[in-house]
Amino acid sequence: MDPYRITPKNTPDLMKYDAGDTSFFEGGKKEGLLELAKLNKKLDALQELLYAQHEHRVLVILQAMDTGGKDGVVRSVFEGVNPQGVRVVSFKVPSAEEIDHDYLWRVHKQAPGKGEIVIFNRSHYEDVLVVRVHELVPPKTWKKRYRHIREFERMLADEGVTILKFFLHISPEEQKERLLERISDPAKQWKFNPGDLSERARWNDYMRAYQDVLAETSTPWAPWYAIPADRNWYRNLMVSSTLVRTLEKMKMHYPAPVAEIEQYAAQLASEAEQAQA
């Protein structure tokens, strides 16, 4: 995954970025789906450890253009994982109460607690993306937010939150196909919003905004990964492998059992014998 991790020296030119790249898994789609199933089992076990140990906190941030696959990642990567201890947060247009506070106020409230994995399906990064592209605030305002976000995420990391940020990058050609599918498939028509087309018309503006976000806010404590997302199976595999590898490095363990736990098994066995008598 290191080639997809963003550092100041390898920030990609998103206008030329290969969103169809699958070079870091040679087995193809069939083998990729089998590998993803294995990773799902590993993630299930690791999440159980995380919840039981009640020490670590994990924040996963997903950003993408429309149809980029944020919902697909949530469904596929976390398939079979116990929902206890996993929470998905989607940030919509700010409410009146939220507008009355600073833009990070509503985000901080949703940060993971001990033993939790929280997934941000869109996030505080909208405040340096949408607001920039649509000129909702002046440049001097959104430019300062890069520093705010770096410091906010540093604070979370210092308090024990492990942060993984994934930009799911699709090509405009693939987005067109996915939008057409939403229009033609009755089971997906509910997802289509005419506003998606007006956002698509600002593609280049968004790519410039995303590129600055990657360059300005990928840090050692909260790295960005720019994941090629034209192939769903590959996108999911790359996200899952990064998450599993990160959790494995935590070297988690189950809490110690109560003292002399074996005596309780004997007590239960005695109860069963008495019931049979």
Average pLDDT over the chain reads 93
- Please check the confidence at residue 213 and state whether its pLDDT lies above 80: yes
Nearest to residue 76, comparing CAs of 237, 265, 207, 245? 237
Q: Which of 189, 267, 171 is nearest to 228 (CA)?
A: 171
Lowest mean pLDDT among 77-86, 143-152, 267-276: 267-276
Task: Tell me the torsion sign for CA atoms 231, 237, 239, 242.
Answer: negative
- Residue 56's pLDDT band (cuts 50, 70, 90): very high
Task: Residue 231: name the closest of 164, 167, 166, 169 by CA.
Answer: 169
How much is the pLDDT for 8?
A: 74
CA-angle at 188, arms to 186 and 191, nearest 5°: 130
CA distance 275 to 179: 64
Is the confidence at residue 2, as pLDDT, over 80?
no
Task: Decide if 127 contacts 96 (C-beta within 8 A).
Answer: no
**Model pTM greater than 0.85?**
yes
Q: 11 in helix, strand or coil?
A: coil
Of 7-11, 143-147, 169-173, 200-204, the poorest mean pLDDT is in 7-11
**Confidence at residue 92, expressed as pLDDT on a 0 to 100 scale:** 87
Distance, in Å, from the CA atom of 184 to the CA atom of 193, rounded to the nearest integer, reads: 13
For the domain spanning 2-276, the CATH number is 3.40.50.300
What is the share, in percent, of the chain residues with pLDDT greater than 70?
98
| Tokens read off for 92 | 């919509």
Q: Are 243 and 164 in contact (CB under 8 A)?
A: yes
pLDDT digits (tens, 9 = 90+) for 65-112: 999 999 999 999 999 898 889 999 999 888 999 999 999 999 999 999
Paired with 57 in beta bridges are 161
Percent of the chain with pLDDT over 90: 83
- Please give the average per-residue pLDDT across 224-246, as a whole number: 97
Mean pLDDT calculated for residue range 131-149:
97
The contacts of residue 145 (CB under 8 Å, 6+ apart) are 103, 127, 128
Residue at 192: amino acid letter = F
CA distances for 27 relative to 69, 119, 233, 242, angstroms: 22, 28, 12, 18
Confidence of residue 120 (pLDDT cuts 50, 70, 90): very high
Question: What is the structure's pLDDT at 263?
Answer: 81
Residue 161: its pLDDT value, please?
Answer: 98
Q: How confident is the model at residue 1 (pLDDT cuts 50, 70, 90)?
A: low
Burial tier of 265 (Cβ tally within 10 Å: 0-12, 13-18, 19+): exposed
What pLDDT, in 10s, does the model give residues 8-35? 777 889 999 999 999 999 889 999 999 9
End-to-end C-alpha distance for the chain, whole angstroms: 62
277: confidence class by pLDDT, cuts 50, 70, 90: low
Task: Give the bridge partners for 64, in sequence order.
Answer: 168
Residue 87 per-residue DSSP state: E
Answer whether residue 135 shows pLDDT above 70: yes
